[in-house]
Chains A and B, each alone.
Chain A
């Protein structure tokens, strides 16, 4: 297991460092196509949303829109606060408050 973790973390570090080095060190010979520049702007949002949505709608594998699914109201509360205030800590905490309250109620 140790080998696995070393390889996993080591590989991630190499990949990430390589990306960051790319232009700063070899940039004289590389050029960035414009379409890619536009596409990269959407990557974080697309990846994170792709992770959140199944967790919020189907926390245990199957779609659960019943009152027993506290993830959905919690996530919606976080989203509401984040949209209004741009304050990430407030958004996380209010999401947690709704999530906890919901679990306690249902």
Chain B
């Protein structure tokens, strides 16, 4: 999991520097936001000076899935005091959720489980920061790296994330609809096309899932 984050961290750092973001902004994104896909998405937005509400709304949409993780993990930390739950929430990412949820399901909810969560979250965090720094150094040492087809790195990165999930039919349908709407609406201002495409894709995915009968608990 730590190794898996490496290419994304490096590419994020390189891409951000290559798009003209200052080093401190690049590092601040990894340190304060700590949410890979939203960091990638906003590179082009904030390097192009997009309106702030657009930046914040995009972040909200892209990261909303974390609310689901937050809800799923709540039963395991219900008994813990707030001074535990706040930091645990800050470091809650896709990877942390996957690892921690798997661990907590097999072990009783104890203080040890919270330590496990904190430990794996911190490992992911430091790992992400380190790879971002590596990417920043690459971006700085190769001037004009943006013209070397680095914007392709973003396409390749996203494809690598999305493609394995397309084996599920509803997900495939969501992707097809989102891609089509994004093409048709790509000239709308304020990234409205992106929002519209995402909404249409999600709707398509949910609707296509409906006929399946859910197993009773």
Chain A residue numbers with a CB within 8 Å of B160 are: 78, 82, 88-89, 91-92, 95
Instruction: Tell whether A35 is near chain B: CB-to-CB under 8 Å.
Output: yes
Chain B residue numbers with a CB within 8 Å of A50 are: 178-179, 181-182, 193-194, 197-198, 201
- Asked whether, in the complex, the Cβ of A45 is within 8 Å of the Cβ of B178, the reply is yes
Q: With A47-B37, A74-B152 known to touch, is A5 a contact of B182 (CB < 8 Å)? A: no
- Asked whether, in the complex, the Cβ of A19 is within 8 Å of the Cβ of B67, the reply is yes
- Asked whether, in the complex, the Cβ of B209 is within 8 Å of the Cβ of A38, the reply is yes
- Asked whether, in the complex, the Cβ of A55 is within 8 Å of the Cβ of B155, the reply is yes
- Asked whether, in the complex, the Cβ of A46 is within 8 Å of the Cβ of B178, the reply is yes
Q: What's the nearest-Cβ distance from chain A to residue B187, in Å?
A: 8
Instruction: Tell whether B55 is near chain A: CB-to-CB under 8 Å.
Output: yes
- Asked whether, in the complex, the Cβ of A20 is within 8 Å of the Cβ of B158, the reply is no
What is the interface of chain A, defined by CB distance below 8 A to chain B?
4-5, 7-13, 15-17, 19-25, 27-28, 30, 32, 35, 37-59, 63, 70-71, 74-75, 78-79, 82-83, 86, 88-89, 91-92, 95-96, 99-100, 103
Q: What's the nearest-Cβ distance from chain B to residue A101, in Å?
A: 11
- Asked whether, in the complex, the Cβ of B159 is within 8 Å of the Cβ of A95, the reply is yes
- Asked whether, in the complex, the Cβ of A35 is within 8 Å of the Cβ of B206, the reply is yes
What is the interface of chain B, defined by CB distance below 8 A to chain A?
4, 6-8, 11, 21-22, 25, 28-29, 32-35, 37-38, 41-42, 46, 49, 52, 55-56, 59-71, 73-74, 77-78, 82, 85-86, 88-90, 92, 149, 151-167, 170-171, 174-175, 177-183, 186, 193-194, 197-203, 205-206, 209
Give bound CA distance, A89 to B6, whole Å. Answer: 9
- Asked whether, in the complex, the Cβ of A83 is within 8 Å of the Cβ of B164, the reply is yes
Q: Which of A25, A83, A100 contacts B86 (CB 8 A)?
A: A25
Q: With A32-B71, A51-B194, A88-B7 known to touch, is A16 a contact of B186 (CB < 8 Å)? A: no
Give bound CA distance, A13 to B55, whole Å. Answer: 11
Chain B residue numbers with a CB within 8 Å of A25 are: 82, 85-86, 89
- Asked whether, in the complex, the Cβ of B174 is within 8 Å of the Cβ of A23, the reply is no
Chain A residue numbers with a CB within 8 Å of B154 are: 51, 55
Chain B residue numbers with a CB within 8 Å of A7 are: 52
Chain B residue numbers with a CB within 8 Å of A91 are: 156, 159-160, 163
Interface centre among B49, B174, B178, B197 (most CB of A within 10 A): B178
Give bound CA distance, A47 to B64, whole Å. Answer: 12
